[in-house]
Amino acid sequence: MTDDMDLAALQRRLAAFAAARDWQPFHTPKNLAAALSVEAAELLEIFQWLTPEQAAEVMADEGTAHRVRDEVADVMAYLLQFCEVLGIDVLAALAAKIDRNELRFPRKDAPRDPSSGASGGAPGGAPGSSG
Amino acid sequence: MTDDMDLAALQRRLAAFAAARDWQPFHTPKNLAAALSVEAAELLEIFQWLTPEQAAEVMADEGTAHRVRDEVADVMAYLLQFCEVLGIDVLAALAAKIDRNELRFPRKDAPRDPSSGASGGAPGGAPGSSG
Amino acid sequence: MTDDMDLAALQRRLAAFAAARDWQPFHTPKNLAAALSVEAAELLEIFQWLTPEQAAEVMADEGTAHRVRDEVADVMAYLLQFCEVLGIDVLAALAAKIDRNELRFPRKDAPRDPSSGASGGAPGGAPGSSG
Amino acid sequence: MTDDMDLAALQRRLAAFAAARDWQPFHTPKNLAAALSVEAAELLEIFQWLTPEQAAEVMADEGTAHRVRDEVADVMAYLLQFCEVLGIDVLAALAAKIDRNELRFPRKDAPRDPSSGASGGAPGGAPGSSG
């Protein structure tokens, strides 16, 4: 990974990019949270009518693959800009969440009471599940 | 930044976490895109009734700050897991998008035709704007 | 309100429209929930960079007003199609929710313990608030 | 359908409900669009880890069915409140959109040039598809 692909370096490029265009007044936490949500929905839109099998093959078509990477970049960009304006270290936040989830969702091979699982035997989906 | 907070290391921890719990069957690209979108909306939910001024102060309250970091971590976790299953390098995708946006949205001090701006003088919001 | 603008009639038109185009296989509950979420985000996108003042004036510009009405129609269309495939009476569901919320959020002029309000004096926003 | 389940009557109940609690200052178009998007994501959350087959059975479990109807009500409530504050007739907007889509997506049994279909033979999903 070259230096200009380092997360912190990209976050600085995004901040400089916005500053050079006088976009900071628009980049409030609320607006960036809305924009992040909109971009995540645009990524989902690519998949909305696909069967699970078709969805697994999206990268095989170059046009669709480009669109997927483009939306991924948009989500990441707004997430980093959101963290920038609020002073959040996204990697530290993620590491802390994984730590919490390792306690919350024991490994399947660890001894545990099977009745204590998530309601309805739902798959969960940590570390993304609320809590 | 310690090693375990490195992006690639966190992505590996997330993959191992899902594997140890047999969650991979649920982690299809379509499901992860949906989950990412849901988590982004949960982050937005924190801000939905706040004025711009209140939104700028969310980190001043420790309870709210924790909730914001937690949702940020969830968004990041699903984004990395989505990229993992589709073989996408999220930092490379973001760097490429910033490169494209630097061509697409010239700096304000660069000579340009003012009539060539985005429709309606909209602020844009690159690199998250569609295109 | 003429007959063809009646909610039930529009719901039937939407079902016939999908059937005539062999779209029912795509219109699973999960896909329609995703599509509904995507369209709601497209409506939000119109507002994401606007100040509250600008947002209040969106209908003054005919082009923007058309776009807003178009996205509103898309959200409504997917909501009705989602309800159709799952046999949900959307108006009955809404009436029941309002009934519950009238118990849950007493009127401001009704006697109540002021300390029992939502956390932090948050505005709430029922009947949309979770619960 | 009884009177109190009429769409216009429910819209009036929602407006009165918000007014009685002094919530109108929070119910700006931008905030309501955000809230609508958040509620749509909460509906999607119910389905995010389900297979298409499981998703088709959500109403068979009374607890899940209640949750689905509750989120449907929330989406409808915010959509109606959004339309109320902007003076949009949601049924007229939907009728107009269906009219446009009937021109845009001819019936499969109508004579048409097969090459004029949606790009990539994508399923479309009108009237929710953009445009």
For chain A, the average pLDDT equals: 85
pLDDT for the residue numbered B5: 64
pLDDT for the residue numbered B109: 64
Choose among D55, D73, D98: nearest Cβ to C17: D98
Angle at which helices A7-20 and A62-86 pack, to 10 degrees? 80
pLDDT for the residue numbered C107: 80
> Cβ contacts (< 8 Å) between C45 and chain A: which residues?
38
Q: What is the mean pLDDT of residues C75-94?
A: 97
Among A12-21, A107-116, B105-114, name the most confident range.
A12-21
Beta-carbon separation of C128 and D79 below 8 A: no
pLDDT greater at residue B119 or residue C72: C72
Q: Give percent above pLDDT 90 in chain B.
A: 74
C128: Cα within 13 Å, side-chain hemisphere: 32
- What is the per-residue pLDDT across D86-105, written as a single tens digit (0 to 9) for each? 999 999 999 999 999 999 98
Q: How far is C119 from chain D (nearest CA, A)?
A: 16
Read out DSSP for A73-130? Answer: HHHHHHHHHHHHHHT--HHHHHHHHHHHHHHHS--TTS---GGGSSGGG----TTSS-
Lowest mean pLDDT, pick from A10-19, A55-64, D118-127? D118-127
pLDDT for the residue numbered D52: 86
User: Would you state the structure tokens that stand for residue C11, as one six-digit string?
Assistant: 């719901």
User: What band does C31 get if pLDDT is binned at 50, 70 and 90?
Assistant: very high
pLDDT greater at residue B25 or residue A113: B25
Q: How far is B124 from chain C (nearest CA, A)?
A: 8
User: Would you state the structure tokens that stand for residue B14, as one six-digit string?
Assistant: 């997330």
Beta-carbon separation of A123 and D49 below 8 A: yes
Choose among A35, A37, A49: nearest Cβ to C26: A49
Tell me A58's DSSP state: G
User: Would you state the structure tokens that stand for residue C19, as one six-digit string?
Assistant: 């059937």
Distance CA A80, CA A89 (A): 9
pLDDT for the residue numbered A110: 58
Distance CA D87, CA D42 (A): 26
Choose among D21, D90, D125: nearest Cβ to C76: D90
pLDDT for the residue numbered B115: 44
**In the predicted structure, residue C124 carries a pLDDT above the cut 50:** no
> Cα D19 vs. chain centroid, distance in angstroms?
24
pLDDT for the residue numbered A111: 52
- What is the per-residue pLDDT across D14-61, written as a single tens digit (0 to 9) for each? 999 999 999 999 999 999 999 999 999 999 999 999 998 899 999 999
The neighbours of chain A, by the rule of 3 or more Cβ pairs under 8 Å, are B, C, D
pLDDT for the residue numbered A86: 97
Q: How far is D53 from chain B (nearest CA, A)?
A: 14
User: What band does C131 get if pLDDT is binned at 50, 70 and 90?
Assistant: very low
- Phi-psi bin for A19: left (phi > 0), alpha (psi -120 to 50), beta? alpha
**In the predicted structure, residue C115 carries a pLDDT above the cut 80:** no
For chain B, the average pLDDT equals: 85
For an interface test with A, give the residue of B37, B62, B84, B130 to mutate (most A CBs within 10 A): B37
**In the predicted structure, residue A130 carries a pLDDT above the cut 80:** no
User: What band does B110 get if pLDDT is binned at 50, 70 and 90?
Assistant: low
Residues 6+ apart with CB under 8 A from D96: C69, C73
Measured between CA atoms, the residue of chain D closest to residue C78 is D128
Choose among B41, B42, B48: nearest Cβ to D31: B48
Q: How far is B17 from chain D (nearest CA, A)?
A: 17
Distance CA B84, CA A59 (A): 12
Which residues of chain C have a Cβ shorter than 8 Å from any chain A Cβ?
26, 31, 34-35, 37-38, 40-42, 44-45, 47-49
Tell me which residue of D70, D92, D104, A32 sits closest to B71, measured CA to CA.
Answer: A32
**In the predicted structure, residue B50 carries a pLDDT above the cut 50:** yes
Query: What are the angstrom distances between the C-alpha of A53 and each of A49, C38, C59, D51, D125?
Result: 11, 21, 42, 12, 19
pLDDT for the residue numbered D15: 95
Chains B and D form CB pairs within 8 A to the count of 35
pLDDT for the residue numbered A77: 98
**In the predicted structure, residue D127 carries a pLDDT above the cut 80:** no
The neighbours of chain B, by the rule of 3 or more Cβ pairs under 8 Å, are A, C, D
Tell me which residue of C33, A29, A122 sits closest to B51, measured CA to CA.
Answer: A29
pLDDT for the residue numbered B83: 98
Q: How far is A28 from chain B (nearest CA, A)?
A: 7
User: What band does D76 get if pLDDT is binned at 50, 70 and 90?
Assistant: very high
Tell me which residue of C57, D71, A96 sits closest to B68, measured CA to CA.
Answer: A96
Beta-carbon separation of A97 and B29 below 8 A: no
For chain C, the average pLDDT equals: 85
- What is the per-residue pLDDT across A50-83, written as a single tens digit (0 to 9) for each? 998 899 999 999 999 999 999 999 999 999 999 9
Which residues of chain C have a Cβ shorter than 8 Å from any chain B Cβ?
34, 37, 41, 48-49, 51-52, 61, 63-64, 120, 122-125
For an interface test with D, give the residue of B24, B48, B54 to mutate (most D CBs within 10 A): B48
Distance CA C40, CA C99 (A): 25
Helix ranges restricted to H, C48-89: 52-56, 62-86
Distance CA A5, CA B46 (A): 31
For an interface test with B, give the residue of A28, A88, A97 to mutate (most B CBs within 10 A): A97
